[in-house]
Structure 1
Amino acid sequence: MTELNIYRFIVGIAVGGLWSAGAALISEIWRPEGRAKALAFMQTGWSGGNLLAAIFAWTILNPSDPESWRTLFIYASIPAFATLLFILFFVKESPVWLANRGYVKQTKNAGLFEIFKPEHLKVTILALLISILAMLGYWIVMTFAPSFLQNVLGIRIDQAPVFLVWTGIGGIIGYIVYGYMAESWGRVKAFAFFFFGMTIMVPVFTYTASHMPLTNGKLILTGGNVIYLGIISALLGFFTGYFSGFGAWYSELFPTSIRSTAAGFCFNFGRVGSIAGIKLVPILLTTFSLPFSVAISIAAIAYFIAGFMVFTIRETKGTELTSGN
C-alpha cells in the first residue's frame, strides 16, 4: 500500500502541473469564441484516459493474482510516454507567453503570492472553493461507486470497471457538450447546469442501482442489465462534463503573468480539498451506520452549493487574452 501511495503522489504532482500548463497554453493560443470548445476537447483526455484505464482493468486485472495491478500500470504508462515525446518535438510555446516574458522580468513580482494580492484575492478564494466542492463530489462518487456496486449488487472486483467504462463514455460526451454550451450560454450558466445536473444524478444513480433485480443476491451481467446500469452510469459521467470548464474560465479570470499559477492553484488545491470527501464516506458508513447509497449521495450537497457559488464570479465569455497585464 505504501508503494502504491507513493506512485499516486508522484502522478498527482505530474498531472497537476501538466494540467495547469496545458490549460494556459491552449487558452492563450485559441480565439475567444472557440476557447471553451478547445479546452473541452483537451479535457476529454481525462475521461478518455479513465475509459482506457477501465478497459485495461477489465481485461488485465486478475482476481486470483494480487500482483496483476503492476502489469496494468505498465500498460497504462505507455500513452504518457507517447505524449511526452509529442510535446518535446511538436508543441511550441504560446506567443502570448513569449511576449509577456519582458513584463515578468521587469516587475519581478509574478508568482504564487501574487494571486493573493487584493486585486486577485476574492476571485482566487471563490474559484478555489468551487474547485473543492466540485472535486469533493467527484471523488466521492468515483472512489466509492465501484465499492458501492460490489456491496449492493454483489458484482466482482473485475466486473466493477463496467461502471467506469460507461461513465468514461458519458464523460467524453459531457465534456464536449459543456464546451459548446459555454460558448453559447457563457461559462457561469454552463457550470451551473452541470453542477445541478450532478445534484440530481448522484441520488438517482444510487437509488436506481440499489433497486436493480438480483439473482441469488448478485446482479447477473446480462446484456439488459449492462445496458441498464450503463445508461445511468453514462448519465452520471455526462454531468462531470463541468471539468472541461475550469481551464477556460480560470485562465480568463487572471492576467498572463499569473495565469498558469492561479489556474493551477485553484484547480489542483481543489483536488487536495477533496481528500475530506474520501475520508468522510468511511466515517458515515462505520461511525454513523448510514446506508452506502446515502453516504455517496452526500456528494450531491457539494454540487448543489457549487451550483450557486458559480454566480459569485464574473462571466468571462469572449475575453481576449493578450500579453498585457
Structure 2
Amino acid sequence: MGGNHTQIKFILLGITDNPYAQAPLFVLFLLIYIVTLVGNVGITVLVPVSPSLHTPMYFFLTHFAFTDICYSTVISPRMLADLLSEDKTISFTGCMMQFLTFAFFATIECHLLAIMAYDRHVAICHPLLYVTIISSHVCWQLIASSYLFTFLSAIIYTWCVFGGSFCGPNRINHFFCDEVPVLKLMCSDTHSSEMVIFAFITINVVGTSMIILLSYISILCTVLRVCSAQSRARAFHTCASHLMGVSMYFGTGFFMYLQPPSSHRSLDQVASIIYTVITPMLNPFIYSLRNREVKGALLKCRSRLFNHWQHKKVLSSSAGTVRVN
C-alpha cells in the first residue's frame, strides 16, 4: 500500500446525525453490548469449570462465544464513542485494522457455525461413531484450520479493500469501516478487487452455509425416523432455534455482500446492526442458555459458589468467636 495512505483520515458518518436520537441510541446499544459481554463471557467461563460440559459441542461453543466477544468489541465501542463525540475521524491504519479484525471474526463465525452444524449432524445421525469421528484431535484440527484459512482470507480481503488509491471524498457513510462504503471512496478501478472479494465471500459464506443447510437437512431426515414424539419435538425445537440464529446471521450477510455495489441502500445499516450488534447478543441464548445441560451446569456452579460463601462465612464467624473468648 502506498506511503500516502498513512496520511489519509476518514470520517465515519455513523448511524444518525440527529442529536436528539444519539443519546437514546447510545443507551440502547450500550445495554446490548453489556448483555453480549455478560452472556458470552459467562459461556467461556462456565464450560471450562463444568466437567459435564467437557464435550466437543461445548468446546466449539466456547470458541463461538469468544468470537462473538471479539466480533462485537471490534464494532460496538467505536460506534458508542461516535454517538457521543463530534470528532468522528479515524486514521487510515485504524480503519484498515478495524476492517481486518472485523473480516477475520465475521468469517471465523461462519466456519464455527458450519463446524457446530456438522458436529450435531454426526451426533444425531451417527451416534455410535461420534467419539471416533469428533475426537479431541479432530476438534483441534477443525478449529486450527478454520482460524488459519480465515486469517489468510482476511488479509487478502483487506488488501483488496484498502490496496487502491484514495484521492477523493473521505466520508464513510456507515458506522464502521466496511467493504462497500470504503470501496466507494476509491478513485482507482475496483473491478478486480470486487471479483476477488466476491470469490472469497462465496467460499467462506456460501460454502459454510451449504454445509449448515445439508447438515440440518440430514438431521431432520434422521429425526423424522425417530419413533418417540417427544424426541422429535425436542430435536425440532433445537434445530429451529439454531436455524433462526443462522438465518439472521447469513441472511443479513447475503443481503449486504452478495448484491451489486450500486444496489446498496439505507437498509444496509439496519442489516449491519443486526449481524454486528444484535446477533452476538442473541447467540448465547439461542445456542447455550436455553440448553438443559447448560442450565444444569449454571445451577451447580451457583450452588458451589453459595456453599463456598457459606463456608467462608462460618469460618469467619468461628474465628471471631475464638478471638472474643
**Please, what TM-score do these two structures have when normalized by structure 2?**
0.29
Which structure is larger by alpha-carbon Rg, 1 or 2? Answer: 2
**Please, what TM-score do these two structures have when normalized by structure 1?**
0.29
Larger RCO (CA within 8 A; separation ≥ 6): 1
